[in-house]
Structure 1
Amino acid sequence: MEKNQYSIFESEITVRPDDIDMFNHVHNSKYFDYVLAARYEQMDRFYKMPMEDFMKAGYGWVVRTAYVDFKRPMILGDTALVRTGILTINEKGCRVQFEIENKRTKKIASDGWFDYVMIDIASGKGMKVTEEMIHTYSV
């Protein structure tokens, strides 16, 4: 079976005061937010399919499984370089890999992956990813 190579895209997100936990670093839940915010931006900028258009067509992406490996803390004022890219995609969904680099230290703060399934927004049920969708994300 041929393994496809997919592009990796980068977005910048600045750590805000409300991202900080009681230990004065980014709360673990915010790393999920950073990845989701980056994917939202990247759907528009790089895949040319803004989430709004995707939803108007009746589709949605829902996280089924997420894995995050926390390596180093980030603090207020840091900039997260969030790099994401499709690792695999098929009719059942896709796996998106990510890494978050601290721009200040140039070290990886976290990495991991998300498994997404596509749903029909009207019914809320999972649906097959079409060949057209697979082609759209194969950049």
Structure 2
Amino acid sequence: MKISVENIVKSPETKLFVRFQDCDVLGHLNNVRYFDYFLNTREEHTRYYYALNLLELSKKYQANWVVTNHQIAYLRPADLGENIIIQTQLVHFDETSIVIEASMYNETRTHLKSLLWTTMRYVSSTTGRSTEHSAEVLEMLAAIQVNEVEHQPEGFQKRIAEITQVFKNAAPTKKV
């Protein structure tokens, strides 16, 4: 499970198309479907960018991450037929948990549409109780964590303001 830190993409992005089946009667992405888009994209990012298969990891360490909390903000609608960009990144970890940030932008990255912080607890598959990350898992988490994002559980609204301020002050192509 050694991740090469050379040329690692800590904040991978994926372009997605908002499909009819995922929208509400107003033609906006259904609120529940945001979670599917975000979590499925993160799973793809871990597989493609870090060569991590979460099922294999859970078998190897007899533990897996279980969602304990979501914080989500719906700032602008994602519309039917629209191309969107989803970026995911690990913004925090400790001995027993991780926090993933997922952000959704319009195709030109001029507007933040939604932001999600998902907190996950590392849980033993044999006991069903919280367990500590192994040294190898901690090393992997350290390699992919984004240090530029200051994570504090009460700082979710502050993080939204930081990202949206970038759009007010910078060119539309600047990445967050």
* TM category, shorter: 0.7 to 0.9
Higher mean alpha-carbon deviation, 97-106 vs 80-89, is at 97-106
Change (3 A) 1:22 1:123: farther
The runs of at least 4 consecutive aligned structure 1 residues that moved more than 3 Å come to none
- RMSD value, Cα: 1.9
Note the residue ranges of structure 1 that are not aligned, 5 or more in a row. 1-5
Q: Which of these two proteins has the greater Rg computed from alpha carbons?
A: 2
**Per-residue Cα deviation, 1:14-69 (whole angstroms, up to 9, x for no partner):** 21222101222001111111110111111111222112312332332211111111
Partner SS for 1:81: strand
What residue number does 1:136 align with?
Answer: 140
The 8 Å contact of residues 62 and 116 in structure 1, kept in 2 or not, is answered as yes
Match of 2:67 among 60, 63, 67: 63
Aligned match of 1:115: 119
User: Match for residue 27 of structure 1?
Assistant: 30
Higher share in strand = 1
| Residues paired across the two proteins, number | 134
* TM-aligned CA deviation for residue 121 of structure 1: 2.7
The structure, 1 or 2, with the larger RCO (C-alpha pairs under 8 Å, 6+ apart) is 1
8 Å Cα contact 2:20/2:27 also seen in 1? no
TM-score, with structure 1 as normaliser: 0.85
Q: Residue deviations 1:66-85, cap 9 Å, x none?
A: 11111100111222211111
Going by fraction, where is helix more abundant, 1 or 2? Answer: 2
Q: 2:12 maps to what in 1?
A: 9
Q: Does 1:46 align with 2:49?
A: yes
TM-score (norm 2): 0.69
- Partner Cα distance (2:39, 2:45) in 1: 10
Unaligned runs of 5+ in 2: 1-8, 145-176
